[in-house]
Structure 1
């Protein structure tokens, strides 16, 4: 796509999104058109569409912002195309989605903004996106999804569980990637989770799951999962990881269950002959939220290239926590725990200009931490995180 096409698509989408309630209205209109004109695709989606609508708008925005960065966008779209095989998506479904999206955009943009040139720009842009996804899906020889049988379910905190599954066949994912997961209690409601261990010959994968208050899926993963349950797992996604033979120092930042993909990378790095210096900051609201400190302590004690620093916003645990459990002060191999907002704490310990940075956590945590690091002089190009949707 040329710069004119990109500019027209970006301007149109930003104008629609800038209106009051624009993103939600656009998503509602899109799905209404899609299900009316192509009722056969309704079975691909969950009954409740609230989360799906929000994810749609964020995904469009993410794509639009990277149209001039094909080296980043095209691999992302290819991964997405491979992942969409789990739905049984066919080329005609891509055409249906593209047509409905253009119609929804045209309705909200208005005749002044939506010209024939804009129509052609969106046709071309959607065509490139769909072609990239379809070609990647067609070239893939791995399964459209894997089946995993739950072999362990362990409650770590009252709203956090560790679930380990054994897959029906090997999955070659890179440590640091994530994947979509569907549980029996919530059909068609896929959620993204990051394995906390590298791929292994035993076909086992481990997820750390925190229940989101009011959520549809994560509370069911914690409250209804039993040994023997069968989950479905989509293709691996994401590009976090530490290249082999790199000499650049690493700064890793994880909050809550965001520690999972970072821990998986550290475990994979222990199998290498040499590694760069790695500073890992792991954060939570309370000391008990640092639920994986024992494993991180063991890694740091055995690998001199790794330094782990716990950070909490409060020095006190909530009333319901069992104080008999280990605390950071009792574990070897850890730096002294800091108190404060994690982004602020880390920015103050910089500068980090010579480090490659990975941030994993909630979207608000990732954005806040990223902005603090940038304000403290860390180049934006050095900071990586997965798409925030």
Structure 2
């Protein structure tokens, strides 16, 4: 397996900078091999291409970590049930993937690389199929929008109720969301912003990027109303509480990255008695700290909770100033804490570097990044 992992990483380096070309060739080949598969994908494919490449990179990077590799791929197989992917489709996907890799790598591709990807894909597809076959839940849940609150021009908080069997998520996880009325077959992941509850109600914090990009987010912020129906796919993600840990907790949240942190704090209000919990909540401007009042209210009720707000672009703000990672570093050390980080890719990378410099053990850190789709 170590040799396969080395070959996968070497060969991925040949194509990594040409991801758009790889995705384009893969889908062209896939739909040529089986034109019926085109019906399973949205009309606009750019977001789907990003997810394909993310899955390939993750598989290549975790193939030498069997436990993580297995868990990720089984969850991916469960998630792909929402696309109505069947066992027969996996063989076609493998042929198209290898053809795309060979074509984009060109003369630098080798028989060794080819065999490594064949072996890896056989393992990938077996685990994904096993995850899909073992899942007793529906491929997706229909959900009704209960409330929708606009917070400025680009942000909304909405709650939805799953209408079928209970949706079994954990605090800190995310689900894929489809807005079938406006964007059928287009899915986007969002963290659930509340802990599980008997009412089967989920809360989402959604921000649509400037300039109108992000079709699903735009539809959820600007065009969704109470009473609308959404679809929610199986929960994924490992930014969850460690039930066996007694360490104190650091949570770092930027913008709508607060969503999973809010869910974790809500879960802790039910079970925590001994752990100090420190939440750092950052944004560019004070008006973007949309959930600060609710967090401050929790602080008055739970003495183990502290919240430190910070902004980077307003020197008159009464709280902390600077990039969020820098603020967190000033309050360290965090070496003995469980650390949860959620926000933009840039913020998460900066915070992970700060925690590494603080000698926080990697297995004490869990994180999620929020892209711009």
* Shorter-chain TM-score tier: over 0.9
Provide, for residues 182-202 of structure 1, a one-character-per-residue CA deviation record: whole Å limited to 9, x for no partner: 012111110001111112111
How far 1:80 sits from its partner (Å)? 1.1
TM-score, scaled to structure 2: 0.94
Measured in 2, the distance between the counterparts of 1:283 and 1:387 equals 15
Measured in 2, the distance between the counterparts of 1:112 and 1:259 equals 44
Q: Secondary structure at the match of 2:271?
A: coil
Residues 151 and 227, structure 1, Cα contact 8 Å, conserved in 2: yes
Measured in 1, the distance between the counterparts of 2:4 and 2:299 equals 50
**What is the aligned partner in structure 2 of residue 351 from structure 1?**
333
Which of 324, 331, 340 is matched with 1:342 structurally? Answer: 324
Alignment of structure 1 residues 295-306 onto 2, 5 Å = 295-306=294-305
Residues 41 and 83, structure 2, Cα contact 8 Å, conserved in 1: no
Residues 251 and 355, structure 1, Cα contact 8 Å, conserved in 2: yes
How far 1:125 sits from its partner (Å)? 0.3
Measured in 2, the distance between the counterparts of 1:159 and 1:386 equals 21
Q: Secondary structure at the match of 2:249?
A: strand
Q: Secondary structure at the match of 2:184?
A: coil
**What is the aligned partner in structure 1 of residue 207 from structure 2?**
210
Alignment of structure 1 residues 194-209 onto 2, 5 Å = 194-209=191-206
Alignment of structure 1 residues 1-389 onto 2, 5 Å = 2-18=1-17, 22-115=18-111, 117-169=112-164, 170-183=166-179, 184-213=181-210, 214-272=213-271, 274-315=273-314, 337-386=319-368
Q: 4+ residue stretches of structure 1 with deviation over 6 A?
A: none
How far 1:273 sits from its partner (Å)? 5.2
Measured in 1, the distance between the counterparts of 2:43 and 2:239 equals 32
Which ranges of structure 1 fall in alignment gaps of 5 or more residues? 318-327, 330-336
Q: Secondary structure at the match of 1:308?
A: strand
Measured in 1, the distance between the counterparts of 2:196 and 2:50 equals 31
Measured in 2, the distance between the counterparts of 1:50 and 1:172 equals 30
Measured in 2, the distance between the counterparts of 1:274 and 1:110 equals 59
TM-score, scaled to structure 1: 0.90
Residues 62 and 387, structure 1, Cα contact 8 Å, conserved in 2: no
Residues 246 and 275, structure 1, Cα contact 8 Å, conserved in 2: no
Q: Secondary structure at the match of 2:220?
A: helix
How far 1:296 sits from its partner (Å)? 0.8
Measured in 2, the distance between the counterparts of 1:385 and 1:138 equals 28
Measured in 2, the distance between the counterparts of 1:341 and 1:387 equals 16
Residues 287 and 316, structure 1, Cα contact 8 Å, conserved in 2: no
Measured in 1, the distance between the counterparts of 2:262 and 2:218 equals 23
Measured in 1, the distance between the counterparts of 2:93 and 2:329 equals 43
